[in-house]
Amino acid sequence: MTAPTKNGPPTPRSTAEQAAPSADAVPLHTPVIAWFEANARDLPWRRPEAGAWGVMVSEFMLQQTPVNRVLPVYEQWLARWPRPA
């Protein structure tokens, strides 16, 4: 974003100016976190034991595939390859 100057071209705004929330902004994170806690599905890659490998595998599989189709394949994959080679 740029800010106009009095006698010249616009100058870039600082990161702090760009990131500063307005005084009347409603905090969004509280209701989003509350909704997630009430509605989140129990998925294997969200569990602590999934580890980085399990999360990465799920990210690749979920890129353009619905969760219900990924679940059985994810379980089979990790049964066959529980950790990277």
List, in sequence order, every residue forming a beta bridge with 59; answer none if it has no partner: none
Q: Where are the domains of the chain?
A: 42-85
The active-site residue, picked from 17, 49, 59, 75, is: 59
What's this model's pTM, rounded to 2 decimal places? 0.62
How confident is the model over 32-74, as pLDDT tens digits?
999 999 999 999 999 999 999 999 999 999 999 999 999 999 9
Counting Cβ atoms within 10 Å, is residue 45 exposed (0-12), middle (13-18) or buried (19+)? Answer: buried
Active site residue 37: no
| Position 54, amino acid | G
CA distance 44 to 74: 9
Q: Cβ distance 84 to 57 under 8 Å?
A: no
